[in-house]
Structure 1
Amino acid sequence: MGDFNDLLYPKDKEGTHPHPNYLMNGFRNALEMSSLSEIDLSGGRFTWEKGRGTNAWVKERLDRGFANANWWSLFPLCNLKVVATAVSDHEAIFLQLVEATVSKKTFRFKFENTWLKEPSFISDVRNCWENLPMSHLMIKLMSVSRFMEKWGRDFFNKFKEKVRRQKAIIDLLRERTDDHSVREYLKARDKLNDILLHEELYWKQRAKLFWLREGDENTRFFHTSATARKKANKINFLVNEDGVRVNKVEDMGELIKGYYQRIFAAPEEATSNDSTASPRIVTQS
C-alpha cells in the first residue's frame, strides 16, 4: 500500500488531460500477474489533488492498497480509509486490520503547555482564583488545581472533538467545486493544521522530549515515545511447563493462579505435584 503514482481506471482522475490507457493497462496486468486484489477504499474517491479552485484543478486516486489471498485469509475484516491531512497534497490512507476496542482512561492532573494556546485558559484560571474566598494559600492552590484538572479533561475531550469536526467538514467539502466550497475547504484545512500543531505540542510534553523544536510534525513519534514505557510493562503471553504459549488473559490468569497454588500448598500436597516450574513471562512478542 502507498503512493503508486499511477491509475487503474479512467474514473480515478478528474481534470485536464486523461490518463494514458497503456499505463492503466500495464498497472492492471502487473497486479494480475502478482495475484493481488485491491482493498476497497472508503472516505473519498481521490487521494491527491493540485490547483484546487483553479481551471487547472486535478484530482487523482494515486494511493491504494493491495493484498494476496493469504493476506485476505488473515485479515478478512480489514478497512482502508482516506484520512484528511493539512500539510500535503496527498491525503493519508489508514489501514485498520481488525476492529479496535477502546478503553476509558482515568485522568491525572498535569499542567499541559498546550493549554496556554487556548485564549480562554488564562482568564478562566484568573476568574477561578479571584472568586475563591480568602483562605490559606495552600487551600486556594488546591482549589485552583482541581479547577484546572476539570478544565484539562474538558479541553482534551474538546480537542479530540475539534479534530473530528474539522475532518468531517473537509470530507463534506472535498467533492464540491463551487467557489464558496473551495474557499471553505481551504479554511478548514488551515484550521485542522493549527489543531494538529496543538496536538503535537500536547504529545511532545508527555513524551518528555524537548530536543525537537515545535513544528516538526512528528506527532506519532511523540505519541509512541510517551506510551513506550506502558508497552514495556505489558505481558503479551506466558509459556507453561509444557512449552505451550498462552496468550489469552483468562488463561494466563489461571496459569499464574495454579502456579502459586502449588507453591503455597501444604507439604504433602506439594510432594504429590511433580512440577512446580514457573511460567515464563514474555513481554515482547
Structure 2
Amino acid sequence: MASIDRRDVNLLIGMKWDFFHVLADGLSRGIMVLWKKNMASFKVQESSSQFVVGELEVVNKGKWKIGTIYVSRDTYSRSSLWGRLEYHVSKEVPMIVGGNFNYLLSREEKKGGRDFVYSLGNKQMKSFITCIDLHEVESIGPKFTWCNNKKGAERILEKLDSCLLNSVAMNLSQWMVVRHLARIASDHYPILLNLLEFNKISKKQIKFEEVWASCPTSVTVAKKAWWRKVCCSLPHILNQKMNRALKALFNWSKAKYKELNQLKDELKKQILELQTKDAVIGFLNEEEAWLLKWRQRAKVKWIKEGDSNTRFFHAYASARRNINFIHKIKDENGLIMEDQIKVENVLNNYFNEKWKERECSLLGWPKQWKTLSIEDSLVLSIEFTIEDMEKVIQELGPNNAPGKNGISYSFLKA
C-alpha cells in the first residue's frame, strides 16, 4: 500500500460502534484502516488503481463488505470498474461502496461552470447503481463535496463523492447518516458514515395480525379470554379484556403457525396445479374454473392482510424509516442540532412551550355572530348509542395502525 497523503483525501468512511472506527481515505493513492486488532480484522479481496474491496469482520458485529473507489475519466477503465464491483456485490452481506465517483447524476449536483450534460459516464454510473441495488444515504453538511478552489465566476462546486449501501445494510436496525466534514487541505470534502444505535425498549409489544381474523377458531379464543371476570374501573376492565384477548390470540397463533403456513402452501400448490392444467389442456370445466378463481382470491387475501413477510416488505419499511428519520433540526436560536439527543431535546422543548398553560382574557372581544342553532346544539349533545358506535367501527378501515395496546379496528370488527 502507498503512504497516505493528507492533502489528497478523497473519502473518509467511519463506521461507529462502541469500540472502533474504520477510516478509509486517499483512495487514489492507497488505503488506511485503523482498528483494535483483537476486535476486528480487514481482509483485502481485490484492489486496482480505481478501487479497493475488502471484508471487514467485527467481533459480535458480523461481516461487512467495504468498497472504496476513485472512478477514472477514461471510458475503458471505467467500464472495467463497474464490472469488477458488480462481481463483489453481495445480497447476503451488508456492503458499503463510497468514494469519488467523478460523475454527476443531475444538474442539482453542480453549481457554476458549464451547464450539466447527461453524458455516457453519467448513464453508466446510474445504470450501475440501479442494477446492483445500491442506495444513497441521507447526508448532513455542505451539499457539494468538491470545489475547484477558484473565486468569483470561475468557482465550481460539484457533488462527486457519495456513500452507497446495499439493501442488506439498509435493512439493519441502525439509522444511518452521512456527514460531509470540513474541507481543509484538499479540494474534496471528507465523508463520514455513522451507524446510529439507540437504546430500545426490550419489551416486545404484541399487535393484532390481520390473518388471525380469517380463521374461525380465533373468535372462540378471543371470546374465551374476553369473558374472564375483571374487577376494577370500566376503562381498566376494557383494557384488561383487550390485553388478555390479544395475548391469548398470540399464544394460539404460535401454536398454529406451522398449520397456517401449511394451509397457505397447500393453497399455492392447488393454484399451480389448476393453472398448469389450464395451460396444458387449454380450458377448465365450470367447477375447476370457479375453484381456481376462489383459490386465487383467497391467496390475494392472505397477501393483502399482511401474511407475506418478505424481504421486499422489510426493504420498503426500512426505506420509509430512513426517509422519515430526522437527521438535523434548528433550535429556537437558529442553531442546527445533529446529535440525536439534542434533536429530541429541541422537539420536547418546542412542544412543552407550545402546549403549556396560559392565561388569556376575552374582555373587549367582539360578540360571536356565527353560532350553532339550538337544534344543532341539541344534536351534538345527544348520548352515543351502541348502534352509532357499531356503524363507526364498521366504516373504519381495517389496516389502520394499531394503538399502544396493539389493538386495530380489525380486532373490533372481528
Q: Same fold (TM over 0.5)?
A: no
> TM class, shorter-chain normalised?
0.3 to 0.5
Structure with more of its chain in helix, by fraction: 1
TM-score using structure 2 length? 0.23
Larger gyration radius, structure 1 or structure 2: 2
TM-score using structure 1 length? 0.33
